[in-house]
């Protein structure tokens, strides 16, 4: 195991995070506050509770998930795409590092960043609404699992993308809509039967539901199902990354 | 045992381009090897294949006895690569990016070594600058510093002096010699013949993916030492008289020119004798000129594919 290399990549990526602190930290805090003003104050004033949970508190897990997913995907995607774009990837390819170590460095850093942002949002939310976390262990577990899984997913996108447009495509056109439609701001039980059924095909539903269960002890689907789906997606992403490195896809000619 | 040994190496890109054809090459420890070839000949592909950036289609590469695929960690740890393009992280600081390279190669931090490398490359004053603030020449130095950060035993320089000014070029030559003195093997690609002449112990020429010549530079220079004297005759002759048989002479196709090849490094060039003998045979000439064949000429002949590389 080339630990110094993993640490070098990790530190390099984290340095980029702190260098762009304004964009990485302040932006999500402002966005979250806006959500609270718009959804919490405007809508929450008319809709008191969902499932017995005050609306302001109800949207917190969904809000954290929204940032966690988009940040994980875009951080990891950008992290590996940029060296490919600038050409500095030559150094990664010619260094005595295994693909696993490369992934560990990039995905580890991307997951760290998104978890950090998730916690910042949680802290910001706590300023607006009283929060009580029913299952702290599972809350942390979902946070970790989701961050790692979606950072892996982002890493795959960063390898697949051959332009900045494609890099943005998946986070904007897939992840964000799925998160909004995945019950971040509502319970899918509030949907008409048809859309309720369709929602079950959306993997984000399981993540948000599991995460919400960790907060309030209630979710849209059974927590066991949520955990199983999360692990399933993790396995899928791991498989993809393994395949990419085995074939050298988009990395080596 | 050669420090780099390449056997039957071929590379066919997905596009169908046959970039390397059955390349065999052995580089000895501590030598400076210059790989010459026109653009697109396969110089960079060869280097990138040894360094692990390009996957070979067939053949084996060993660095320090380690197979560069099955034992890639040990093989790559010995190699430093300075790529042809100025590929750098614009926002990183010089010190950080060089330290990062050392880390990638699995070595612990060693600020003293990094400091030495930066000072050797006149980069130390710029250590806290972001790379994007540096000039092109300085960026090239940063790439070299990155390649030296992990104390490699084999250094690949892909077109190190392409587009750099005279001062930096001479700095680079000095650095390469210093590295060689420390026992580092240096393999450089170039299309400046002058550079190969100045620096290399051995020269290899690659054309269309094939190594067509590998020769000691001194041997090449010996060939370079030969000159040609062309005599323009007053009257065409059909054949040269027997009295001139002792000279290395060639008669031009129209019988109006006689070409004499001689070695400038010999004590006697034989010119005086030749001219006397010509006068004796009654052959007069109207003009004469001499010409030295350069490595460049040999090179041009070779890459054009003509068989004769002799002066």
What does B147-189 look like in DSSP terms, one character per residue? HHTT--SEEEEESTTTT--HHHHHHHHHHHHHHHHTT-EEEEE
Would an 8 Å CB–CB cutoff place A235 in contact with chain B? Answer: no
Which of A3, A9, A88 is opposite residue B89, by nearest beta carbon? A88
B128 vs A188, which has greater pLDDT? Answer: B128
| pLDDT tens readout for residues A150-165 | 999 999 999 888 888 8
B83 contacts on A by Cβ (under 8 Å): 87, 90
Percent of chain A with pLDDT over 70: 98
Of A12, A86, A93, the CB nearest to B53: A93
Hey, are the CB atoms on B13 and A248 less than 8 Å from each other? no
In the prediction, which pLDDT does A127 show? 85
pTM of the model: 0.83
Q: Give Cβ neighbours of residue B124 (< 8 Å, ≥ 6 apart).
A: B115, B118
d(CA A94, nearest CA chain B) in Å: 5
CB contact under 8 A, B96 and A15: yes
The pLDDT of residue A182 is above 60: yes
Lowest pLDDT segment from A32-36, A81-85, A91-95: A32-36
Q: Across the beta sheet with B4-12, what order do the strands follow?
A: B18-27, B4-12, B58-63, B66-67
Burial of A132-159, coded b for 16+ CB within 10 Å and e otherwise, reads: ebeeeebbebbbebbbbbbbbbbbbbbb
Residue from the list B53, B83, B102 with its beta carbon closest to the beta carbon of A252: B53
Does the pLDDT at position A248 exceed 80?
no
pLDDT category of residue A188 using cuts at 50, 70 and 90: confident
Pairwise CB contact (< 8 Å): B96 & A4: no
Cβ partners under 8 Å of residue B123, min gap 6: B94, B138, B141, B142, B145
pLDDT bracket for residue A144 (50, 70, 90): very high
**How far is the C-alpha of A59 from the C-alpha of A44, rounded, in Å?**
10
The residue whose two tokens read 């045992």 is B1
Question: A90 and chain B: CB distance < 8 Å anywhere?
Answer: yes
Q: Which of A207, A233, A232 is nearest to A220 (CA)?
A: A207
Given a cut of 80, is residue A43 above it in pLDDT?
no
d(CA B52, nearest CA chain A) in Å: 5
The reported pLDDT for the residue numbered B252 is 85
The whole-number pLDDT of residue B307 equals 42
Nearest to A97 among B89, B100, B104 (CB): B104
8 Å CB contact of A88 and B104:
no
Q: Kindly state the DSSP code that residue B93 receives in the 8-state scheme.
A: B
Give yes or no for a contact between B46 and B37, defined as CB atoms under 8 angstroms apart: no
Q: Tell me, what's the pLDDT at B294?
A: 64
Chain B residues touching residue A97 (CB < 8 angstroms): 104, 106
Location of structure tokens 């320089």: B157
Are A125 and A63 in contact by the 8 Å Cβ rule? The answer is: yes
Instruction: Write down the pLDDT at residue B29.
Output: 94
Query: Which of A19, A86, A91 lies at the smallest CB-CB distance from B101?
Result: A91
DSSP for B13-67? -TTS-EEEEEEEEEE-TT-EEEEE--TTSSHHHHHHHHHTSS--SEEEEEETTEE
- How far is the alpha carbon of B63 from chain A, nearest alpha carbon, in Å? 13
**CA-to-CA distance for A172 and A156, rounded, in angstroms?**
16
B189 and B35 in contact (C-beta within 8 Å)?
yes
pLDDT value of position A112: 95
> Which has the closest alpha carbon to A159: A252, A69, A249?
A249
Give the pLDDT confidence of A3-17 residue by residue, as tens digits. Answer: 999 999 999 999 988
Q: What φ, ψ does residue B60 adopt, rounded to 5°?
A: -125, 150
Cβ distance B76 to A96 less than 8 Å, yes or no, reads yes
**How many Å apart are CA A214 and CA A64, to the nearest integer?**
13
| Residues A109 and A10: beta-carbon distance below 8 Å | yes
Q: Residue B208, by phi and psi: left (phi above 0), alpha (psi -120 to 50) or beta? A: left
Q: Does A41 lie at the interface with B, CB-CB under 8 angstroms? A: no
Show residues of chain B in contact with A253, CB under 8 Å: 13-14, 54-55
The Cα–Cα gap between A4 and B149 comes to: 14
pLDDT of residue A200: 85
Find the closest chain A residue to B150 by CA distance.
A95
pLDDT at position B293 is: 64
Q: Whose structure tokens read 């009295």?
A: B243
Can you read off the two tokens belonging to residue B47?
């280097």
Beta bridge partners of B204: B35, B214
Residue-level pLDDT, tens digit, chain B, 311 residues: 899 999 999 999 989 999 999 999 999 999 999 998 888 889 999 999 999 999 999 999 999 999 999 999 999 999 999 998 888 888 899 999 999 999 999 999 999 999 999 998 889 999 999 999 998 888 999 999 999 999 999 999 998 877 778 888 888 888 899 999 999 999 999 877 778 888 899 999 888 899 988 989 888 767 666 788 899 998 888 888 888 888 888 888 888 899 888 877 777 888 888 888 888 888 888 998 987 766 666 677 666 764 443 33
Q: What is the pLDDT of residue B93?
A: 93
Which of B71, B72, B81, B103 to mutate to test binding with chain A, by most A CBs within 10 Å of its CB? B103
B103–A8: do the CB atoms touch at under 8 Å? yes
- End-to-end CA gap in chain B: 34
Cα A110 from Cα A205, distance rounded (Å) = 22
pLDDT at site A125: 87
Binned at pLDDT 50, 70 and 90, residue A19 comes out as confident
ipTM: 0.84
**B40 CB-side CA count, 13 A:** 2
Query: Is any Cβ of chain B less than 8 angstroms from the Cβ of A218?
Result: no
Residue at token pair 């490398």:
B117
Using pLDDT thresholds of 50, 70 and 90, give the confidence band for residue A45: confident
- Return the pLDDT at B310: 39
Per-residue pLDDT at B7: 96
Q: Write down the mean pLDDT value for chain A.
A: 87
**Cα-trace Rg, chain B:** 25
Higher pLDDT among residues A230 and A36, named by residue: A230
Q: Give A149's pLDDT tier (boundaries 50, 70, 90).
A: very high
């Amino acid at each position: 195991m080339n630990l110094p290399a993993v640490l070098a990549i990790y530190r390099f990526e984290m340095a980029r995070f702190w260098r762009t602190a304004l964009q990485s930290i302040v932006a999500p805090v402002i966005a979250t506050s806006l959500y609270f003003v718009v959804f919490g104050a405007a809508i929450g004033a008319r809709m008191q509770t969902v499932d017995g949970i005050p609306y302001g508190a109800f949207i917190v897990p969904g809000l954290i998930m929204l940032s966690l997913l988009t940040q994980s995907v875009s951080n990891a995607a950008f992290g590996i795409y940029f060296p490919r774009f600038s050409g500095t990837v030559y150094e990664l390819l010619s260094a005595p590092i295994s693909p696993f170590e490369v992934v560990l460095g990039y995905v580890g850093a991307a997951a760290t960043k998104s978890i950090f942002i998730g916690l910042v949002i949680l802290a910001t939310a706590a300023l607006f609404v009283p929060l009580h976390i029913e299952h702290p262990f599972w809350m942390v577990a979902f946070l970790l699992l989701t961050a790692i899984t979606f950072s892996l997913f982002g890493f795959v996108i960063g390898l697949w993308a051959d332009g900045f447009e494609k890099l943005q495509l998946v986070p904007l056109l897939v992840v964000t809509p799925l998160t909004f439609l995945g019950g971040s701001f509502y319970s899918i039980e509030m949907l008409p039967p048809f859309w309720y059924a369709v929602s079950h095909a959306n993997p984000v539903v399981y993540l948000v539901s599991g995460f919400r269960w960790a907060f309030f002890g209630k979710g849209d689907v059974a927590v066991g199902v949520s955990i199983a789906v999360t692990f399933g997606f993790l396995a899928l992403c791991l498989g993809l990354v393994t395949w990419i490195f085995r074939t050298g896809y988009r990395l080596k000619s | 045992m050669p420090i780099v040994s390449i056997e039957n190496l071929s590379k066919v890109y997905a596009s169908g381009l046959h970039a390397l054809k059955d390349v065999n090459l052995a580089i000895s420890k501590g030598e400076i090897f210059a790989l010459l070839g026109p653009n697109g000949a396969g110089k960079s592909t060869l280097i990138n294949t040894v360094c692990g950036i390009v996957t070979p289609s067939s053949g084996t590469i060993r660095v320090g006895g380690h197979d560069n695929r099955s034992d890639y960690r040990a093989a790559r740890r010995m190699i430093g690569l300075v790529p042809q393009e100025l590929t750098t992280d614009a926002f990183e600081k010089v010190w950080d990016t060089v330290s990062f390279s050392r880390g990638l190669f699995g070595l612990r931090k060693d600020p003293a070594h990094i400091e030495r490398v930066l000072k050797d490359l006149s980069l130390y004053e710029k250590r806290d600058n972001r790379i994007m603030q540096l000039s092109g020449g300085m960026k090239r130095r940063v790439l070299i510093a990155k390649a030296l950060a992990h104390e490699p035993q084999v250094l690949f320089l892909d077109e190190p002096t392409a587009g750099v000014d005279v001062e930096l070029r001479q700095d680079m030559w000095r650095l390469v010699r210093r590295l060689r003195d420390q026992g580092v093997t240096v393999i450089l690609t170039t299309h400046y013949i002058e550079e190969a002449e100045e620096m290399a112990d051995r020269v290899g020429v690659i054309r269309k993916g094939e190594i067509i010549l590998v020769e000691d530079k001194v041997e090449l220079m010996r060939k370079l030492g030969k000159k040609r004297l062309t005599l323009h005759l007053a009257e065409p002759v059909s054949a040269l008289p027997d009295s001139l048989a002792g000279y290395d002479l060639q008669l031009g196709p129209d019988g109006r020119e006689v070409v004499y090849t001689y070695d400038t490094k010999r004590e006697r060039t034989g010119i005086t004798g030749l001219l006397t003998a010509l006068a004796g045979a009654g052959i007069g000439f109207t003009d004469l000129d001499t010409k030295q064949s350069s490595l460049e000429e040999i090179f041009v002949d070779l890459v054009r594919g003509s068989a004769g590389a002799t002066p």
